[in-house]
Structure 1
Amino acid sequence: MALKSTIFKADLQIADMDRQYYDGHALTIARHPSETDERMMVRILAFVLHAHEALSFGKGLSADDEPDLWQKDLTGAIELWIEVGQPDEKRIMKACGRSNQVIIYSYSSMSNIWWNQIAGKVDRAKNLSVYNLPAATSQALAKLAQRNMQLQCTIQDGQVWINGEGESIQIDLAQLKAPANAVR
């Protein structure tokens, strides 16, 4: 018998002063049995950074043809494809062909090795952005994971803070690759 996903609920209050986006989101997150708290919290961070009424969680680990998060327009065309972790170059290039913008958030202590191996293979992808989250930061985020979470998220001048359970975590992302027409 297959293990079922664990359901988590997150009440997010987002104040993104860089994008002038201020809203609350009540998220229901299905955590795949093989997914760690760390990975799930990085998915939530990705949601915070790109919050929009049309942004939603994909099937992620449960499906090969869907990202961790995506945003579609009213016609169903994919505007934004977000991956968490270290996808292979074939998955990245396929995503770049299907979406206007692809963003990857890596978070492992092995991210530099992964990036050095695939950077040359995905260099031609003009709509790809890749960010690395330090392992210590993603591990601190994992400590905030609870079945019911209340998180306050602030973004100002490129600085990101997530507050929850009496903890305040500053997020410092390193950009490994910028898209050809960098917007953010």
Structure 2
Amino acid sequence: MAAGAVMHTFEVQLADVDRGVYDEVTVRAARHPSETDAYMVTRVLAYLLEYEDGVAFSGGISATEEPAVLIRDATGRITAWIEVGAPDAGRLHFGSKLADRTTVYTHRDPAKVRAGVAGKTIHRGEDIVLHSFDRGFIDAAVDALARRNTMTLSVTERQLYLDLNGTALSSAIHDQPLV
């Protein structure tokens, strides 16, 4: 019998000074057996760093026509296509045509992510921003991860301050063009 998804719950105090977003949020993230903890932590961070009305996780790995995180307006139209990890050029091309804005959050080496899409056709590829974190930041967050989590996340001047279950971490949010 195959193992099912593991549910992780995050009780979050969010203070994104850069965007003027302050909220208490409960995030439930299912980690599929084929998904790494690093990917899931990055997915949760992407959700919180993009937090606004209409933000949601997609249906998971079975939702091949959706990104890891998306934002819909009140009519249901996708306004932001948010990929995690190292998406292929085809997914980015599709998402960029569908949504007003496309972005990528990665827990991997950003140079390798950029190399993976170099020279490929991506609609509005020059507008896609790749967000990454300091080396070791995601791994340290994974070490503090539990099934039930308390988190304080603050962002100011693109510096992220994270307290995850009593472990204090920080990282710059590195923004660069994808192509």
Please give the TM-score of this superposition, normalised by the length of structure 1: 0.88
Structure 1 unaligned residues grouped into runs of 5+: 180-184
CA distance in 1, matches of 2:25, 2:108: 27
SS of the counterpart of 1:67?
coil
Q: Provide runs of 4+ in structure 1 moved above 6 Å.
A: none
CA offsets per residue over residues 59-112 of structure 1, 9 Å max, x none? 232321111111101111111111110011011100101111111012124x41
How many residue pairs end up in the alignment? 178
> Does 88-97 or 132-141 show the bigger shift?
132-141
* 1:119 matches 2:129: no
Per-residue CA distance 1:41-72 (angstroms, 9 max, x = gap): 11111112111131111123232111111110
Distance apart, 1:113 and its partner CA: 2.4
Aligned partners of 2:124, 2:52: CA distance in 1, in Å? Answer: 28
Q: What CA distance in whole angstroms lies between the structure 2 residues aligned with 1:178 and 1:90?
A: 14
Q: What is aligned with 1:92? A: 92
In the TM superposition, what is the alpha-carbon distance from 1:36 to its structure 2 partner?
Answer: 1.4
Partners of 1:177 and 1:73 lie apart in 2 by 25
Matches of 1:28 and 1:124 in 2, distance apart?
Answer: 32
- Which residue matches 2:59? 59
Structure 2 residues not aligned, in runs of 5+:
none
What is the match of residue 148 of structure 1? 148
Identity of aligned residues (%): 28
Deviation, structure 1 residue 145: 1.5
Aligned equivalents of 2:108, 2:175: Cα separation in 1: 14
1:14 pairs with 2:14: yes
Quote the RMSD (CA, aligned, Å). 1.9
